Amino acid sequence: MVMDLSGKSVIVTGGNVGIGRPTALELARLGANVTIIGRNEATCSEAVNEIIESTGNQKVDFKIVDLASFSGIQKFADEYKATHTELDILVNNAGVVTPPFNETEQGIEATTGINYLGHFFLTHLLKDLLISVKGRVVVVASDAYASGRITLDMMEGENPAIFKPVAKSGLLQYGLSNTCRVLFAKELIEQYPDLTCVSLHPGVVKTNLARSMGSCFQCIIGKCFAPCLKSPDEGAVTTLHCATTDVSAGNGMYYKDSKIQPVKDGFVSKELQKKLWEVSMVVVEKFMSK
């Protein structure tokens, strides 16, 4: 049964484009107070106007945040906590595929830095608001995790390889970032048992995910996968299922087509998820200490 979200506070990262947009729209239709996080003011404003017009829900707004910037994430979280006492649902949806060897302002490989570590930091900063209402975190990952196996030795040392360019292609790095997302969803509920958190595969969706990989690459992807591409509305179905129905029985699990999907052997373990959490906390705490 779909929950009544009237008056509930919701954040959707990347809610201005792709599957994030219909996700934000449907959550607003269910009565939630929705904040969209995006990088592009024009598309954010357009999305908010469309959602308000379509749903009649006036409590929809947006904030410009670059998830590659810890300072930008910190600023948003501080402002959000100054005006909100609780956060019911956080949808960590935004994602990119960047060319290899790009880095964030923190010196983190960009795809992993945005898709995983930026969301890790955001969730960490907002955790008290989530815990106060036994809230829910929905992590949009991808079956691409199967191309990004993580090992314990990748997380050793002061500058773990997990946060450096370790793949020769942006797509392989994308897979690595999604393995991080899956591990994060599992460990979050170990750290904070009052929370609900699941990760999911939305399907292969026609979005601008690979916008930074160049027009030639996008053309190839379009031609190869066009017959099986989902629309953004179709791609949002599993996200919405995880955000609006009782998934307590599958807490920490990975979802696909709105059902629990086992993760392939060798990609997740208690040891890996705990270690990833530890090295991620070292990075964000080092930043916060400054």
What domains are there in the chain, each with its CATH number? 9-289 (3.40.50.720)
User: What's this model's pTM, rounded to 2 decimal places?
Assistant: 0.92
Candidates 174, 192, 254, 255; catalytic one: 174
DSSP strand pairing (196-201 vs 254-256) = parallel
- Asked whether residue 290 carries a pLDDT value surpassing 60, the answer given is no
Closest CA to 151 of 139, 142, 160, 141: 160
- Does residue 286 surpass a pLDDT of 90? no
**Rounded distance, CA 111 to CA 173, Å?**
7
State yes or no: is 174 an active-site residue. yes
| Span between the terminal Cα atoms of the chain, in Å | 45
Task: Count CA atoms within 13 Å of residue 228 on its CB side.
Answer: 6
- Indicate the burial class of 43 (C-beta count within 10 angstroms; 0-12, 13-18, 19 or more): middle
pLDDT digits (tens, 9 = 90+) for 78-131: 999 999 999 999 999 999 988 777 889 888 999 999 999 999 999 999 999 999
Confidence of residue 40 (pLDDT cuts 50, 70, 90): very high
Report the distance separating Cα 216 and Cα 218, nearest Å: 5
Q: Is the pLDDT of residue 224 over 60?
A: no
Measured in degrees and rounded to the nearest 5, phi and psi for residue 86 equal -155, 155
Average pLDDT over residues 153-168: 86
